[in-house]
Structure 1
């Protein structure tokens, strides 16, 4: 990949870690405003695709039919991390849907966050499919299958009508023909999509600026879904995680994915960004996104401050002593 250095981590002046990567930023004319590295590089969305994968549910009457709350609906877009409020919302959602936990295709897991995971193991709790960080997405998939009369069996297969609908929606949002969308298998077992990084940014531009979507049904579904995401930021991720920090800003639509992929759109500025950290690190997301917002002179300084607090630009040892720096090296 044609990439550039995004982040350097130093210890006592010596470079210890280097994070190469790619960034693409677009405007509402679908033009490239900012480019670091090759923005035409195909990149897998991973979990940054979850809002797109949730849109068929928001296009249906599943939410109203089963009296699903905003908190529960946010799970359809979430990489939930196993906090008590996540588990409570998942349990509540499961009770409302005509589904069984064992029908979920995702694997049984412990909570993703360390504290609830350690507590569960300490209490001799068992892994559950409901604790998988993609469980909300899978519950949504199965609920939609029931609503549409699709077979639940094989909902994770590329050729299943649900997955074909998702590819069609992604094509509309990304401006990439369906036949040019590359499809792999994600960690939870369902299809995962790769498109050029620029088109990932375009996808999030349309999530932030739904007036750019010609299909009125998809447009309204995006408006409804993004309102839910902004209203329930902790459900989408958790308190001290970048997605929740950004979604607390009602001007931002954001979601990250595994292996260093992050996407966000700015509603008022009518711009959007997609980035890929080639080391696969999620740790440096706050530094990169904060620097990006600073470089475009983003008006909400509280959001930038919150990102800086999430991951300060210093390296500390176990005793809390400052022993190094985290430096943003890229210029948009």
Structure 2
């Protein structure tokens, strides 16, 4: 905590009410830290920010094509979906094509994360489903890959499973970080989850955005396809009202967040990758912090920045619409360029 910086603050009636501490790191195509606030070496669990990379082995071996998945269905392999009706329709089609039963998913039965979808389900007294879990697309992707490769299906979420071992190898490769130094825990959905320094997470996202940086041709093609699909079908990655899909509307950006405040994104034209960790685990600070990063580096697309501020306005209003406070980023990036 002693190396963290204040990233964002909220004021109410002129008095400081909340502080979000954390770390930000930006790297260039050589893997060098070019922007920082806090500690680039801070280790963070990637959580769902790892999903695009967890999908790479399946893409390398042609799993989506083997099961005839559409572009939208492929994108769900990278997604933290909100179980919007259009997403559930695609997930059900995906499950049928792969030949899975919903009970084969180890993620828990859940309500949709979409408030409207959840309310509709509750009003209709419909039960929770594993398909509604925001990680179900990732799980089906690994199950499809395991089925294609002849790997066991029952243990697909275990760290020792061959598909999970390949995911760990892929994360180490994309991060340019020794596999033996990656700390492995268990995520909320039951999958292995990987912790590594945020500068290496930033490196991963830069490679996802600029796949020409990847020496392995098959991995490079897979990463390029995944990044392209995330932009083309941004609405599948989270939802049109959530930060990931909003950032992915910008074709220059590849982005994905994870639970407990971790976020990664990269800029294709500028060839810079960023990762950040909000130490209190808040996702509320993401739009403010990322908008400030883009402003501080002079990003050329103001529409993207405006969309972020629409998610987290600088003015804090009460339920009646009156301005009662302000929300602001307070960190300054140190540039090594």
Q: Aligning the two structures, in what range does the TM-score lie when normalised by the shorter sequence?
A: over 0.9
Q: Give the equivalent residue in structure 2 for 1:193.
A: 194
Instruction: Write the distance in 2 (CA, Å) between the matches of 1:202 and 1:92.
Output: 34
Confirm whether residue 169 of structure 1 aligns to residue 170 of structure 2. Answer: yes
Partner of 1:108: helix, strand, or coil?
A: coil
Instruction: Write the distance in 1 (CA, Å) between the matches of 2:42 and 2:308.
Output: 27
Q: Give the equivalent residue in structure 2 for 1:77.
A: 78
| Residue 301 of structure 1, CA deviation | 1.1
Q: Give the equivalent residue in structure 2 for 1:275.
A: 276
| Residue 302 of structure 1, CA deviation | 0.9
Instruction: Write the distance in 1 (CA, Å) between the matches of 2:204 and 2:240.
Output: 26
Confirm whether residue 244 of structure 1 aligns to residue 245 of structure 2. Answer: yes
Deviations, residues 59-87 of structure 1 (Å, cap 9, x unaligned): 12221122110011110000000111111
Instruction: Write the distance in 2 (CA, Å) between the matches of 1:149 and 1:84.
Output: 32
Deviations, residues 279-324 of structure 1 (Å, cap 9, x unaligned): 1110111111011000000011111111111211111111111100
Deviations, residues 24-66 of structure 1 (Å, cap 9, x unaligned): 1111111111111111111000000000011112112221122
TM superposition score normalised by structure 2:
0.97
Partner of 1:222: helix, strand, or coil?
A: helix
| Residue 112 of structure 1, CA deviation | 0.7
- Aligned pairs for 1:75-224 within 5 A: 75-224=76-225
Q: Give the equivalent residue in structure 2 for 1:258.
A: 259
Which is further off, 162-171 or 61-70? 61-70
Partner of 1:157: helix, strand, or coil?
A: coil
| Residue 260 of structure 1, CA deviation | 0.5
Partner of 2:332: helix, strand, or coil?
A: coil
Instruction: Write the distance in 1 (CA, Å) between the matches of 2:30 and 2:114.
Output: 39
Confirm whether residue 285 of structure 1 aligns to residue 292 of structure 2. Answer: no
| Residue 218 of structure 1, CA deviation | 0.3
Deviations, residues 10-30 of structure 1 (Å, cap 9, x unaligned): 001100000001001111111
| Residue 113 of structure 1, CA deviation | 1.6
| Residue 118 of structure 1, CA deviation | 1.1
* RMSD across aligned positions (CA): 0.7
| Residue 159 of structure 1, CA deviation | 0.9
Instruction: Write the distance in 1 (CA, Å) between the matches of 2:227 and 2:31.
Output: 20
Instruction: Write the distance in 1 (CA, Å) between the matches of 2:27 and 2:63.
Output: 33
| Residue 236 of structure 1, CA deviation | 0.2
Which is further off, 77-86 or 58-67? 58-67
Instruction: Write the distance in 2 (CA, Å) between the matches of 1:117 and 1:200.
Output: 33
- Structure 1 residue runs of 4 or more that deviate by more than 4 Å after TM superposition: none
Deviations, residues 130-189 of structure 1 (Å, cap 9, x unaligned): 000000000001000000010011111111111110011111110111111110000000
Q: Give the equivalent residue in structure 2 for 1:53.
A: 54
TM superposition score normalised by structure 1:
0.99
Partner of 1:330: helix, strand, or coil?
A: coil
Q: Give the equivalent residue in structure 2 for 1:312.
A: 313
| Residue 327 of structure 1, CA deviation | 1.2
| Residue 95 of structure 1, CA deviation | 1.3
Confirm whether residue 7 of structure 1 aligns to residue 2 of structure 2. Answer: no
Gaps of 5+ in 2: none
